[in-house]
Chains A and B, each alone.
Chain A
């Protein structure tokens, strides 16, 4: 998830990884990476079948806080949420399954 201000400057970035964490040689607390050393599961953080997974992110708008007052520097934010399959653990070889872009605008004024 990436958030940018109205000028396109990145103001937030968060990543969640969904995958099983295989146990190295079926012992201890270390993850095994090579297929030849995987022999257990430490935990499974993959997407389980037919069960909803919810994520929430709270992204602050650029603002200054002084003398008890808030000066909002930008009322617009664009968030891009992308679900990628990364077979080798890097974005370069990743395959985008879903990508959603949303623009968020704060109301001006108010009490």
Chain B
């Protein structure tokens, strides 16, 4: 869930830079989506399944595949952000849900849906309407199912990590192009929509994940917030202390979860992240002449992850 924090920063920063680079037809310059369906189509990665079925199915089990719906709780938090946050703040410009614009939702969607930067305010309003409707007790279960389906159709999929956000240092490595996919090598790619395969220098590096899994407040926003602080913890409490493993090594390779990459919610992964030892000792303590029978319980825990547990 918290894999997705600062992706849009790079996109937002890229906009003025791209304006002066002829021939750089990037995602940000494409025509903006006017509906959830259009945005889903713009970032449709269902074609990847044809050749990468196992990976696609793994991803489909992940929270990335439902990044703005989550377990339902994420959608409800979007609604709360509007009703309690935006509508409660004097200078937000939001007095009612219909006032919400893309920029208002980027406090969440910078990471939960970075491609939102390529959508119009109509999409922002559509998402808000559905999120509020989902939380309404009067909404039928059939309608809730439809809302879940619709909100889950836009997510963090192949094209986000392997294209849109595959490059962090665009002045050094170039700007991601719509006809490219990024992985571990250069070459051609058997997909007419994405015929070029390029090596991303950061595909196995933690900074790829760090784009979203946060350093702290997102100061580029008019009203900053922080949801994930995990990458900050990784940098300053793990790497700075000599830790050497990457996000991908633990969450994808060692866990054998690949693109499913669960974390806290996976019982076995959570269990493996923390060593847990308990010792007990029964004895009778003597406080002057008073005999006090008691048990000493000693609990020793060591977090084996490359970041604080939990974060946020």
Contacts and interface: CB of A to CB of B under 8 A. Distances in A.
Contacts of A15: none
Given A36-B81, A49-B243, A95-B265, A61 B227 contact: no
B308 A49 contact: yes
Interface in B209-243: 216-217, 224-227, 229, 233-234, 237-238, 241, 243
A104 B295 contact: yes
B284 A106 contact: yes
A104 B86 CA distance: 54
Q: Indicate the size class of the contact surface on chain A.
A: 35 or more
Contacts, number: 183
B195 interface: no
B62 to A, nearest CB: 16
Chain A: interface secondary structure? strand
A85 B267 CA distance: 9
Given A52-B302, A97-B267, A63 B84 contact: no
Given A36-B85, A59-B294, A87 B227 contact: no
B290 A70 contact: yes
B80 A34 contact: yes
Given A34-B81, A39-B217, A39-B224, A3 B289 contact: no
A60 B303 CA distance: 30
Interface in B275-308: 276, 278, 280-284, 289-308
B77 A34 contact: yes
B98 to A, nearest CB: 19
Contacts of B278: 81, 100, 102
B299 A54 contact: yes
13 contacts: A18-B309, A35-B108, A39-B224, A46-B310, A48-B237, A49-B303, A55-B299, A58-B297, A79-B280, A83-B301, A85-B265, A87-B265, A97-B271
Interface of A: 1, 3, 18-20, 22, 26, 34-41, 44, 46-61, 63, 65, 68, 70, 72, 75, 77, 79, 81, 83, 85, 87-88, 95-98, 100, 102, 104-106, 110
- Complex A-B, nearest 5 residue pairs according to Cβ-Cβ distance, in ascending order: A61-B293, A70-B291, A98-B276, A36-B85, A47-B303
